[in-house]
Structure 1
Amino acid sequence: MLEDAEVARLKALMEWEGRRTAPPKGFPKLPDMPAARYTSEEYFALEQQHIFRKSWLFAGHIDEIPEPGCYMRWHNAGDPIVIVHGMDGVVRAFYNTCRHRGAPVVTQDRGKSSRLMCGYHNWTYKTDGSLVGVPERQDFPADFDLSCRGLIPVRCEMLGNVIFVNFDDEAMPLTEWLGPLMNEWDEFAFDRVRLAARHSFELKCNWKVAMEANMEVYHVPFIHPDTVAPLVDSKRNLNTIYPNGHARMLAPAPRQTDREHVRAIDSPPGWQQIETVGELGRTCTQSYTLFPNWVSPLSNYFVPPLVFWPTSLGTTRLELVTMALDWGDAPAPDLWTVPDDSQPNGRQMSPIILEDTQFGEAIQHSMQSAAFKSVPLSYQEARIYSFHQTLDRMIGIENVPDGLRVEPVIDERWVWPNDPRVEEMATGV
């Protein structure tokens, strides 16, 4: 939770941002980014190999596997995984691949069992992954060791009730990956929020095209004049870059708007507030990018991540998730979708999400043209540039072809806890 002095500093910086007439002194000029980062099959393959195999990824919520023995299939990052609420109470993840001849251990999206049994030859595993049953055991060698043939685990850790996975056995722990976000997110009750809604939609654009629409407020007055603009003063927007590729945007409402009484993005009256949320979460739009593919505003009503999963170079699966405190007998809150019987799942993206995604397919098509050569970004779009720097750093700059690299010009001076804007604000020079 943010200390009072930090809240005061952030409020002062937002006002300073609204008064400045140029980027902060010393902020680097952002070189154009190579356009092919959005259209290159080679770069897409590098992202799959190095980003989505080495980052902590949102997998689900404990409400999806609420009791010991419950399991769910998960395959948003390629390899099939089963996430299991163990009989011992521990949540684990495993490759959904039998150690015999590779058949899936579970074939239903969700289920409950004290054992996981492959339907091909009935090899049977405990919920901790250990192999405990092999039919016709006498036909295997006498020294056939069941203890070394359990399900292969995938790193799995939890932030409160939220489940994350990581394919990299050498990855830092989730709490270290989150860094300062652990403290800042403490007030949002990750250990108490329930899963209210989770829906997926297919987009016809590169995952970065879709995600980056949620990583700057430059577009807000033009794309969201009646939805987001009444809540967000884009002139007083304050961006913060964190270690490991994460970032935050913080913006008050326009001066003529009392955000406490305008809830276009938040909830209608009667839904339960998270009482521990501080002043900024109640009065400002506070949105976090959790590298690599989660963007979420956090408020005193919701933890509602938008999660962007690349399904091909030019397609994305967008997951729209709403988490909130227990809503009792009221309808489950759903921040990002609305009923629509014409859709296969009976839901449609909300007006705000439709506004953000409306140009994705056209943008991707336009990017394929010979006219799309490079991407110039402004200071207000620095979170996007920093995000791309992190992509290259995790891939390994030596692995990125020369024509696809971004120059790492945003250095540690501009990464939390450092912030040269504080001194410029204080001195006025």
Structure 2
Amino acid sequence: MAVANPSLPLYAAEIERTMLPLERATQLPGPAFTDPSVLAWEHANLFARGWVCAGHIEQVSNRGRFVRIEAGGESVIVVGDDDGLPRAFLNTCRHRGARLVDEPEGQLRRLQCPYHAWAYGFDGSLKSAPFTDGLADFDPGCFALHEVRLAVVEGLVLLDLSGEAPAPQDHIGDLAPHMAAYRLPELRRGARIVYDVHANWKAIAENYSECLHCPGVHPELNRLSHYLTGETYEGAGLWCGGSMTLADGVETMSTDGATHARRAIAGVDERVILYFLIFPNTLVSLHPDYVMLHTLWPKAPDRTEVVCEWFFEPETMAEPGFDPSDAVEFWDQVNREDWHVCQLTQQGMRSARFTPGRYTTQEGDVHAFDQMVASRYLEALR
């Protein structure tokens, strides 16, 4: 499907400084975070011309279960078909273009346009179009919903609006084995919070990719895992991240640092937490007893919707008195602390005198993420 491609109002010379080795590199320029034209370009070229994560497979694992995604200038329905397999379609009726669903997620008994009652199967086929029997050359087979390319990799539902992105396995690359150990497709959602963050989506991604700020911004988190522990992981694919190690006597990231109701995920390292950013919009945190997933949805240069979800073993959730609030409340606090400093950053970048700073030696993953963005900018600018 064609997507308008606006011009990119940046200078190649500035972006090339970000592509230098960390010890010499300069961060992305301010307009990359504040200029509406840059965000318009990103919608058309990052979110509409590559893989983006729509969420976890559980959300669409049964017939009629759906999520609605707004990405790359399009509204997309991801829904479980009659066999419980995920399918994705543009959220647009083939009659007069009305949106078919308006809720962010839920359960559909049938997929019917609320305007003139055109009805579709969960495979996208047109099932009913009132008062079209007498039309000349009207073929219902020509009025199926527009399908969007979809793939499921390690429990994550990926969408490619362009239909032209490289194989999804190449996008995830060498990250797949690290995720596979946590059996994401088998986990079930225990909680969900949606945040409206007044900061650019890249500022949030950068914040996630370093813990240099943790001692001052997240003292409770830093007591559970010192910010200089762990290591950086590398490998093929569009991702960055690494590990942190739990402090002695700490079992997990929660309000009291202890696991509850035998919550551990079987077979994973009980001392290590893995944090990965999958380009462009996915933050996945792999804990000894749960997985946390953030998806980022840019709404304006200074506004991002962040969907945060927590996933647990089904057996754990079936335990009497299962209560994920210790993990949810802990990360809700950490999230809000992060959003606060991201918003401060966004406000500061509005200054006419702002110039991008240098990376520190503790911001290797920030640099890696910025280079993923910068390389795409340079393709357009050159």
TM-score w.r.t. the length of structure 1 is 0.76
Trace 1:28-427 onto structure 2 (pairs within 5 A).
28-75=23-70, 78-108=73-103, 109-113=105-109, 115-141=110-136, 143-225=137-219, 227-253=220-246, 257-260=248-251, 263-264=254-255, 268-277=259-268, 279=269, 282-326=270-314, 327-328=317-318, 329-334=320-325, 337-338=328-329, 350-395=332-377, 397-400=378-381
Instruction: Tell me: CA distance 1:349–1:204, structure 2 relative to 1, closer, same or farther (3 Å).
Output: farther
Q: Per-residue deviation at 1:162? A: 3.7
1:160 touches 1:192 (CA, 8 Å); kept in 2? no
Q: Per-residue deviation at 1:386? A: 1.8
Quick one: distance in 2 between partners of 1:96 and 1:32?
A: 37
Range moving further from structure 2, 46-55 or 57-66: 57-66
Q: What is the identity, as a one-letter code, of the residue corresponding to 1:386?
A: A
Instruction: Tell me: CA distance 1:38–1:252, structure 2 relative to 1, closer, same or farther (3 Å).
Output: same
Quick one: distance in 2 between partners of 1:262 and 1:69?
A: 34
Quick one: distance in 2 between partners of 1:51 and 1:163?
A: 17
Quick one: distance in 1 between partners of 2:45 and 2:106?
A: 29
Quick one: distance in 2 between partners of 1:261 and 1:383?
A: 23
1:159-213: CA deviations, max 9, x gaps? 3544232212012232221111111111101121001111101111111222221
1:209-233: CA deviations, max 9, x gaps? 22221111211222122x1212333
Greater C-alpha radius of gyration: 1
1:266-309: CA deviations, max 9, x gaps? 653214211121x3xx2123211111122232122111012222
Instruction: Tell me: CA distance 1:331–1:203, structure 2 relative to 1, closer, same or farther (3 Å).
Output: same
2:154 touches 2:176 (CA, 8 Å); kept in 1? no
Quick one: distance in 2 between partners of 1:392 and 1:244?
A: 16
Give the secondary structure class of the aligned counterpart of 1:139: coil
Instruction: Tell me: CA distance 1:265–1:311, structure 2 relative to 1, closer, same or farther (3 Å).
Output: farther
1:189 touches 1:276 (CA, 8 Å); kept in 2? no
Give the secondary structure class of the aligned counterpart of 2:244: strand
Provide the identity percentage: 25
Aligned twin of 2:9: none
Q: Per-residue deviation at 1:316? A: 1.2
Quick one: distance in 2 between partners of 1:45 and 1:265?
A: 43
Q: Per-residue deviation at 1:248? A: 1.6
Range moving further from structure 2, 194-203 or 357-366: 357-366
2:252 touches 2:287 (CA, 8 Å); kept in 1? no
Q: What is the identity, as a one-letter code, of the residue corresponding to 1:164?
A: L
What RMSD, in angstroms, separates the aligned Cα atoms of the two structures?
Answer: 2.6
Quick one: distance in 2 between partners of 1:332 and 1:269?
A: 8
1:392 touches 1:400 (CA, 8 Å); kept in 2? no
1:83 touches 1:91 (CA, 8 Å); kept in 2? yes
Corresponding residue pairs, total:
358
Instruction: Tell me: CA distance 1:267–1:61, structure 2 relative to 1, closer, same or farther (3 Å).
Output: farther
Quick one: distance in 1 between partners of 2:30 and 2:195?
A: 26
1:231 touches 1:285 (CA, 8 Å); kept in 2? no
Q: What is the identity, as a one-letter code, of the residue corresponding to 2:97?
A: G
Instruction: Tell me: CA distance 1:336–1:364, structure 2 relative to 1, closer, same or farther (3 Å).
Output: farther
2:91 touches 2:100 (CA, 8 Å); kept in 1? yes
Instruction: Tell me: CA distance 1:336–1:314, structure 2 relative to 1, closer, same or farther (3 Å).
Output: farther
Quick one: distance in 2 between partners of 1:40 and 1:83?
A: 31
Aligned twin of 1:16: none
1:4-27: CA deviations, max 9, x gaps? xxxxxxxxxxxxxxxxxxxxxx86
Q: Per-residue deviation at 1:332? A: 4.6
2:66 touches 2:79 (CA, 8 Å); kept in 1? yes
Quick one: distance in 2 between partners of 1:362 and 1:160?
A: 35
2:243 touches 2:275 (CA, 8 Å); kept in 1? yes
2:60 touches 2:84 (CA, 8 Å); kept in 1? no
Q: What is the identity, as a one-letter code, of the residue corresponding to 1:274?
A: I
Give the secondary structure class of the aligned counterpart of 1:97: coil
Quick one: distance in 2 between partners of 1:335 and 1:180?
A: 32
Quick one: distance in 2 between partners of 1:53 and 1:377?
A: 29
2:211 touches 2:227 (CA, 8 Å); kept in 1? yes
1:241 touches 1:383 (CA, 8 Å); kept in 2? no
Instruction: Tell me: CA distance 1:359–1:263, structure 2 relative to 1, closer, same or farther (3 Å).
Output: closer
Instruction: Tell me: CA distance 1:285–1:324, structure 2 relative to 1, closer, same or farther (3 Å).
Output: same
Q: Per-residue deviation at 1:369? A: 0.8
Which consecutive residues of structure 2, in runs of 5 or more, have no partner in the other structure?
Answer: 1-20
1:77 touches 1:309 (CA, 8 Å); kept in 2? no
